[in-house]
Amino acid sequence: QSVLTQPPSASGTPGQRVTISCSGSSSNIGSNYGNWYQQVPGTAPKLLIYSNNQRPSGVPDRFSGSKSGTSASLAISGLQSEDEADYYCASWDDSLSGWVFGGGTKLTVL
């Protein structure tokens, strides 16, 4: 059971907008940043969004992040086939003094 809660799956057609949620608590997302990682099957995870809503250089602006209270969200607009991957949220947890991850959301592009 992951500390952060994500839906196990999400899907959309090319061009659509999809949103993935990440629910936490006051000790993690509520008091620290939410971050998102993308993992294409067979490869290492890659930083997608940091500090709630910042994109590293090279990440398309189709990807955006937000935070409200104890939840974070990842939005992908103009969905493309190469977006098919697993997406993980992560945050520092002050109570555990460590990092916690969501269980991951498998995104399928139909």
What residues make contact with other proteins under the rule CB under 8 A?
Answer: 2, 32-33, 35, 37, 39, 44-47, 50-51, 56, 88, 90, 92, 96-104
CA angle 52, 55, 56 (to 5 degrees): 125
Spatial neighbors of 12 by CB under 8 A, at least 6 apart, are 18, 76, 79, 107, 109, 110
Q: Which is nearer to other proteins, 35 or 71 (CB)?
A: 35
Q: Which is nearer to other proteins, 50 or 63 (CB)?
A: 50
Give the shortest CB-29-to-other proteins separation in angstroms. 13
Give the shortest CB-92-to-other proteins separation in angstroms. 4
> 3-state secondary structure string, 72-85?
EEEEECCCCHHHCE
Q: Which is nearer to other proteins, 16 or 54 (CB)?
A: 54
Give the shortest CB-78-to-other proteins separation in angstroms. 25
Number of H helices, E strands in the chain: 0, 9
